[in-house]
Amino acid sequence: MTEPIKTRILLTLTAACTVLPLETHAAYRGDSDTGFQHLDFIENERREERANRLTPEQEKLLADVAAMEKYLRHPVTEDAPSPIAFEGDDLTYDERTGAFTAKGHVDIVQLAARRFQGDYVEGNTVSGDVSVPDRAHVLQLTEGAARVTLDGYRINYNYKTHEGTMEETAGKVGGYYMTGKRFEFYPDKIVVYDGTQTKCSAEKPDYHLSADVTEVYPGNRMVLTNVKFWLKNKVIFARKRYEVDTSKPIQRNFPRAGYDSDDGLWVEQTFEHDLMPRVTARADIYATTNKGWRSHYDLDWANAGMRALLTYGVFEDGDNAWIKKEPSLTLSYGKRVGKTPVTYRLYSEYGRWYGSGIHSNHWQYGISVVHDTIPFHGFRIDLATGYSVTRESYDGSRVQGFDASAYLTKSFNDRFAAYVGAVYTQKSKQKSLFDYDQEDYSKVLQAGLSYRLDERNRIAVGTKYAVEPHKWTDVDYYWFHDLHCSQIILRYRSKQDSWKVKWEFTPW
């Protein structure tokens, strides 16, 4: 018999949701060689924490789930479907057939921390079908799944097969704001047709990607077909297929620009194209007003810890030292040592280098060993060492030896963090033919601090001190200012009396 019910109903039902990718990590970094990256690591964690703060409706969902547990007559086993509670102005349920309807401000809460809202819902607990012919709102905070907030139309879902569809949908999936004419849910993936994605929260995003088909897989994998990359209303380039590691931000696809005392005005843009599985062609276009084109081009293969990188073009380090590779081939292999916290990397680079009027066949090979970050009473300890040999055909030189580094980093509160470190290398600018990517001296101490003024502004300083000849070689000052969906970084190098201003999209 079918009866109208005015009170809450507890059913064994699963809402129209599935597992989505985990939240992505932000990626901000200083443009210096003073060890400043250790402060960036802490700042990245803070940005992730702010991105993961619960919204008021998410907090209410968790509170409703906690209250719902009080109505359970028996504990729910792991292999049993998660119970659901219905609320609405008019609810009916037929115990004989399993058919149910809910009308008027329907609120469905699942014990697995999901919420499903609409003005009319119908379904069947026997077949497992759920249907919403009009507008619906879905919220998910399920443990082990990404946070989901979606609004759409015409939902059809089967909680037994975990398959369903949702039309004209928009909202947030993990760390991405997404839209789609059609969402299809499967046990192993979500497929979005004629959709967009961005990490910019503006109503009209500064940048976004559009794709004919987007496949979202559990974990951190997303595959897009016929992709276009947009700045405002302009397509900057397109790709037929694009595979994304969603644990990393999509930032290299969009331009960076700024001013440098050395280069003048500059603009940078990276383009990538997958030639075949595990083989990527890449062009990093860098144009300056003072030095012209400073671009480089790569052909990259990677598989199971092995990598081969063929590159041609100009490279510049944080100290404004540059070289041109004409070309150069790097081979490497990295692997964790068993179940230990130690990772090693074997590498070899051979190529034709040019810089400061010198051409040389440059060959470097060696090994690096890195220990995972060690937590110690609120501090972070980072240790690394290695051994390398560098040969140059220009003067027949051979530079070899060990290098080692140790850093101690501390986040004292939500605003203030600092680090101190020591670096030793037997290969410095004094001993090397090229200055590129070399320390000024063999023994240096590094230290720095960062202070967040507010949600949008952070100031910092990074320093480097040469033990011999007892002098400060770098004292760099930073100001980071967050715009809506981008960031401006101002850097002043006091010892060099040089400025650098950088503007870049910084999604989080």
Confidence of residue 289 (pLDDT cuts 50, 70, 90): very high
DSSP 428-443: BTTT-S--TT-BSSSE
pLDDT, one tens digit per residue, over 28-57 is: 444 567 888 888 777 777 777 777 788 899
pLDDT > 80? residue 389: yes
Confidence of residue 393 (pLDDT cuts 50, 70, 90): very high
pLDDT > 70? residue 13: no
Choice between 5 and 197, residue whose per-residue pLDDT is larger: 197
Neighbours of 104 (CB within 10 A): 11
- Look at residues 109, 128, 127, 108 and name the one whose alpha carbon lies nearest to residue 118: 108
The pLDDT assigned to 285 comes to 93
Q: What percent of the chain stands above pLDDT 70?
A: 90
Q: Which residue has the tokens 């931000």?
A: 249
The pLDDT assigned to 144 comes to 66
**What does the pLDDT average to over 239-264?**
80
Q: Quick one: tokens of 306?
A: 């092995």
pLDDT > 60? residue 6: no
Q: Quick one: tokens of 411?
A: 């986040």
Where do the DSSP E strands lie in 246-291? 256-260, 264-276, 279-288
The pLDDT assigned to 110 comes to 79
Beta bridge partners, 412, equal none
Provide the 8-state DSSP code for 70: G
The pLDDT assigned to 419 comes to 96
d(C-alpha 297, C-alpha 13), whole Å: 54
Neighbours of 346 (CB within 10 A): 15
* 207 phi and psi angles, rounded to 5 deg: -150, 150
Task: For residue 135, give the 3-state DSSP assignment.
Answer: strand
The pLDDT assigned to 32 comes to 63
pLDDT, one tens digit per residue, over 130-147 is: 888 889 898 888 776 667
Choice between 341 and 8, residue whose per-residue pLDDT is larger: 341
- Measured in whole angstroms, the distance separating CA 421 from the mean position of its chain's CA atoms is 26
The pLDDT assigned to 329 comes to 98
Lowest mean pLDDT among 24-28, 63-67, 304-308: 24-28
| Surface-to-core class of residue 117, CB atoms within 10 Å of its CB (0-12 exposed, 13-18 middle, 19+ buried) | buried
The pLDDT assigned to 249 comes to 55
pLDDT > 50? residue 364: yes
**What does the pLDDT average to over 401-422?**
94
pLDDT > 60? residue 184: yes
- Is it true that the peptide bond before 83 is cis, omega within 30 degrees of 0? no
Beta bridge partners, 59, equal none
pLDDT, one tens digit per residue, over 145-179 is: 667 899 999 988 877 777 889 899 999 887 789 99
The pLDDT assigned to 386 comes to 96
Lowest mean pLDDT among 16-25, 349-358, 364-373, 411-420: 16-25
**What does the pLDDT average to over 168-192?**
87
Q: Which residue has the tokens 């052909």?
A: 299
Neighbours of 396 (CB within 10 A): 8
Task: For residue 71, give the 3-state DSSP assignment.
Answer: helix
The pLDDT assigned to 429 comes to 84
Query: Are 86 and 102 in contact, with CB atoms under 8 Å apart?
Result: yes
pLDDT, one tens digit per residue, over 430-488 is: 889 998 888 889 999 999 999 999 988 999 999 999 998 999 999 999 999 988 788 89
* SS3 per residue for 183-241: EEECCCCEEEEEEEEECCCCCCCCEEEEEEEEEEECCCEEEEEEEEEEECCEEEEEEEE
Q: What percent of the chain stands above pLDDT 90?
A: 46
pLDDT > 90? residue 7: no
d(C-alpha 8, C-alpha 170), whole Å: 29
d(C-alpha 498, C-alpha 492), whole Å: 6
Confidence of residue 508 (pLDDT cuts 50, 70, 90): very low
d(C-alpha 47, C-alpha 43), whole Å: 6
Count, in order, helices (H) and strands (E) of the chain.
Answer: 2, 32
The pLDDT assigned to 145 comes to 66
The pLDDT assigned to 252 comes to 67
**What does the pLDDT average to over 211-218?**
88
d(C-alpha 261, C-alpha 500), whole Å: 6
Lowest mean pLDDT among 11-20, 56-65, 314-323: 11-20
Q: Quick one: tokens of 458?
A: 């952070």
Lowest mean pLDDT among 60-64, 102-106, 313-317, 388-392: 102-106
